[in-house]
Structure 1
Amino acid sequence: MDASTQPLPSALRAAHERYVTAPGEPPQVRLLVADSWRRCRAGAVRPDGSRLPPLRRTAGDLAAYRRDHPLAAVLPLFGDLLGAGAADDGHVFAVGDRDGTLLWVEGDTAAVGRAERMHFAEGALWSETQAGTNAPGTALAVGRAVQIVAGEHYSSAAHAWSCAAAPVRDPGTGRVLGVVDLTGGSTIATPPAFAAVRAAALAAEAELARTSFAPPVLLGPDGHAPSRPETGVRLAALGRDSALLEYAGHTHRLSARHSEIVVALALQGRGVTGDRLAVDLSEREMPPSTLRAELTRLRAVLGPDLLGSRPYALLHPVRADFAAVAELLAAGRVDRALARYAGPLLPRSEAPVVVGHRRALEQQLRGAVLGSGDPRLLRRWVDADWGADDASAWRHLARNLPGGSPQRAAAAARAHALDTAFAVPPQAVRHAAWLQRSGS
């Protein structure tokens, strides 16, 4: 269940009141939130809003800390992707460090002022242990993108808000550097807001990877770099349900579950606990024995030199097709990104980490194609299985073709037909169409 299918805010607040006033009452909310509430109760977080998050840093030392923080390099990128939209839509966007301290809070002036009254402000600590269930803090706690809607916040001081946040990782080590967040009204509790935040985090990671310096190469006596056996991993998971993994001269076609595990490990970077991996793979509670059995079988396929445990990790650098698309988009190479995009990531997978990344990458690519105004790219998008039922893309194509062109009239007619035929979200239409065409 995602935030778009959550009960109304009044029902969430009633569930919150039952939980905090009745000891032993099981939380009647989705699993992600229920687990967070239990952590908050165990940590003695106050649910009544009487204790606001502490202001951890003053303006003076915050300025120096922000200047040297790794995410300072991608703040302009966050501003381009989220800042203007937040200001126009009455929202706030924030960037925090790995501990949950908010480093930058920007957006609509009135919204920023309201947020400051609950200490959602620069220098405040919004970790889950200090602020209760909230998107930045909970995203850092579970290591993945999350949405928190209204009464899902553990502190009632935040019940008027909804938020979506995603951790940002060092592309070289997988270590969490911080978190990016959108906070505002009910429109934040929607798939597009979640996709925007996830896409911003991916774009930031791609930009950090692009601008980081490679380690020096040690030359041999002949002045050339010594030859080394290829130890990297190539992973293809776009447009296919069985991922292909190439390593040490062998190609493995993975099962659906093993594909999800490998993609999750590639997305999370280096090192993930079994508990977190279980949450990434299923909204339902997964018994530890089930996950261990799957990982044992996967290790038998890949070998112990590739799949590590405690924590679980892929032990060699991974070059994934979905990461390559994100990097090309971050570099502004929309044409190359579209050419590399073979379809949705593991299209039939329902693993939360895969679904979130699949939606975010498609949203990012689609936005870049539509924003380009290039009829050639738009035509390639609507000619593909995943874009054939995208009414907005057909409208953009019609708008950017020469006036009087028969193709322009045909594109406009196709857009109109799709508008009248479907009454569900466009992304859901595109994904269902892809599954149908690919033999589901």
Structure 2
Amino acid sequence: MPGAVPPGCSLPAYARDLVRMHDAVIAGGRPPLRPRDVVSRSWSRVLGLGLKADGLNARDWLGEDELARRREASPLRDAVGDLRQVLGGMSHVLLVVTDADGVILWREGTPAVRRRADDLGFFEGAEWTEERVGTNAIGTAIAEAAPVELLAGEHFEQDQHPWYCTASPVHDPRTGELLGVIDVSGPALTLHPAIGALVETGRRFAEAQIWRWHQHRLDRLRQVGEPLLAAGPAIVVDDHGWVAASAGVSVGDRIAVPAGGEPIAVPGLGACLPERLGEGWLIRPAGPGRRVTLDLDLSGTPLLTLQGGDTGWRRPLTRRHAEILVLLHRAGPAGLSAERLSRALYGDAEHLVTVRAEVSRLRRLLGALVDTRPYRLADGVTMTVREN
């Protein structure tokens, strides 16, 4: 967590200098000190959006029903109570947990600090992205895909200058996908050097909890499914395609996300029809054919056709997912590292988090047909690409 205050600086004096810096930059003058790189990048993005620096920009927040739906769907839901114990016991501190869209789902703090936050529109259901409220630790952490701490005048909106905010993105430990952001905020002159470490501890704790619950659910599903695996090659997976147990086939840790009545392809099993099993699925071959072929048609909207044995499916793809498949097809068995895939897609190696998230979403569709470490098409999967 990069701290907002340089070592040896007086916090009150430095906070005042940051406010002067903000005023000078916004007015087009010469600031007394240069903004940090993370702040400069954020201000450039925000100014390009046409947001105003004086006062508050228009806020937007969710209704109670949508807020309740997002809370229920959030993988961070079960960690919030423990996070309150780790981070929420200090006075003058506001603990906030958002979803991946930057919408505040939970907020914890003393009545006095909550009232001050209410005046900023910093409450449950509000969206705190850069696009909505300018440079702030939550929105900037999402934009930068990294922990961010901001103090006083580093915020774009002047009304946020009396605050500090320290935020860290939380990622799914299984896929790398962004789940939300943990943020601690408070009056600017109460910022302590330990706040960053505390937020990072909360982030690591939340990700560890998600991993433990994932393993517990797989263990429970394994106990239900193992007696059924004695009849032949088959696998047992959860609702997200994570493998709890297998027999007669090696498929790695994940297959495509199952759905009742829809065939999926599994390397070594061919086309399979998922069968409901408790809180998961039993996956067995639908026919004698074990070969899996993919046909990617790029002549219009990318269209992927899968054939395995006697069954298959056809589905549209995003341009990005089609591009990833073409790159993996060309790379052959050697595959591509996340860094090489980032360079091929974006021209640099700075988009590793984005690359991992895109491949994770693609694997929700294709599962073990796309291998990881390195990224490549699985053994036994053949693909043709038609561009005209």
Structure possessing the higher radius of gyration over alpha carbons: 2
Q: Specify the code of the residue in structure 2 equivalent to 1:67.
A: E
Partner of 2:372: 316
Query: Are residue 33 (structure 1) and residue 39 (structure 2) matched?
Result: yes
Quote the residue 1:15 is aligned against.
21
Aligned-pair distance for 1:77?
A: 1.8
Tell me the equivalent position of 2:159: 157
After TM superposition, the structure 1 = structure 2 runs for residues 128-147 of structure 1, keeping only pairs within 5 Å, are: 128-147=130-149
Correspondence for 1:328: none
Q: Residue 316 of structure 1 aligns to which amino acid in structure 2?
A: T
Aligned-partner SS, 1:172: coil
Report the CA distance between 1:83 and its aligned residue. Answer: 1.4
Distance 1:100 1:229 in 2: 35
Are residues 124 and 46 of structure 1, via their aligned partners in 2, closer, same or farther at CA, if it must alter by over 3 Å? Answer: same
SS in 1 for 2:162: coil
SS at match of 1:100: coil
Secondary structure of the residue aligned to 2:248 is coil
Which structure 2 residues correspond to residues 35-434 of structure 1 after superposition, within 5 A? 35-52=41-58, 54-85=59-90, 89-186=91-188, 189-212=191-214, 213-214=217-218, 219=229, 221=232, 225-226=247-248, 228=250, 304-307=335-338, 308-310=340-342, 312=352, 316=372
**Matched-pair contact (CA < 8 Å) for 1:3–1:190:** no
Taking the aligned partners of 2:103 and 2:250, their CA distance within structure 1 comes to 43
Residue in 1 that maps onto 2:310: none
SS of the residue corresponding to residue 86 of structure 2 reads helix
| TM-score, scaled relative to structure 2 | 0.56
Give the deviation of 1:317 after TM superposition. 6.6
The answer as to whether partners of 1:102 and 1:122 remain within 8 angstroms in 2 is yes
The alpha-carbon deviation at position 56 of structure 1 amounts to 1.7
Contact 1:187–1:193 (CA under 8 A) maintained in structure 2: no
Q: What letter corresponds to residue 203 of structure 1 in structure 2? A: F
> In structure 1, what is the equivalent of residue 5 of structure 2?
4
Cα 1:226–1:2 change in 2 (3 A) is same
Q: Is the 8 A contact 2:92 2:190 kept in 1?
A: no
Deviations 1:388-437 (A, max 9, x none): xxxxxxxxxxxxxxxxxxxxxxxxxxxxxxxxxxxxxxxxxxxxxxxxxx
Q: Secondary structure at the match of 2:22?
A: helix
User: How far apart, in 2, do the equivalents of 1:148 and 1:136 lie?
Assistant: 10
> TM-score scaled to structure 1, two decimals?
0.50
Residues 4 and 190, structure 1, Cα contact 8 Å, conserved in 2: no
Cα separation, 2, equivalents of 1:226 and 1:105: 49
- The 2-side partners of 1:231 and 1:106 are apart by 37
Q: Secondary structure at the match of 1:309?
A: helix
Question: Deviation string for 1:22-78 (max 9, x for gaps)?
Answer: 1898982110011101111011111112425x2321234322332232221211121
Choose between structure 1 and 2: higher helix proportion.
Answer: 1
Secondary structure of 2:38 counterpart: helix
Deviations 1:91-147 (A, max 9, x none): 111111111111111111100011101111111111011111111111111111110
2: CA distance, partners of 1:177 / 1:151:
28
Inter-partner Cα distance in structure 2 for 1:222 and 1:38:
56
Preserved contact between residue 17 and residue 32 of structure 2 (Cα < 8 Å) = no
Number of residue-to-residue matches in the alignment: 244
What's the CA shift string for 1:366-398, capped at 9, x where partnerless? xxxxxxxxxxxxxxxxxxxxxxxxxxxxxxxxx
What letter is aligned with 1:121? F
Counterpart amino acid of residue 179 in structure 1: V
Structure 1: give runs of 5+ residues left out of the alignment.
Answer: 233-302, 319-440
Contact 2:15–2:188 (CA under 8 A) maintained in structure 1 = no
Residue-by-residue CA offset, 1:275-322 (whole Å, 9 max, x unaligned): xxxxxxxxxxxxxxxxxxxxxxxxxxxx6444441354677379xxxx
SS of the aligned residue for 1:178 comes to: strand
SS state at 2:166 partner: strand
SS at match of 1:123: coil
2:35 alignment partner AA: V
Residue identity matched to 1:152: E
On the 8 A contact 2:120/2:160 being kept in 1, the answer is yes
Give a deviation string over 1:170-201, Cα, whole Å, max 9, x none. Answer: 12221111111000024664431011111111
Gaps of 5+ in 2: 235-245, 255-333, 343-350, 357-370, 375-388
Aligned counterparts of 1:27 and 1:132: Cα–Cα separation in 2: 21
Q: What is the DSSP-based 3-state SS (H/G/I as helix, E as strand, rest coil) of the residue aligned with 1:167?
A: strand
- Alpha-carbon shift at residue 8 of structure 1 (Å): 0.6
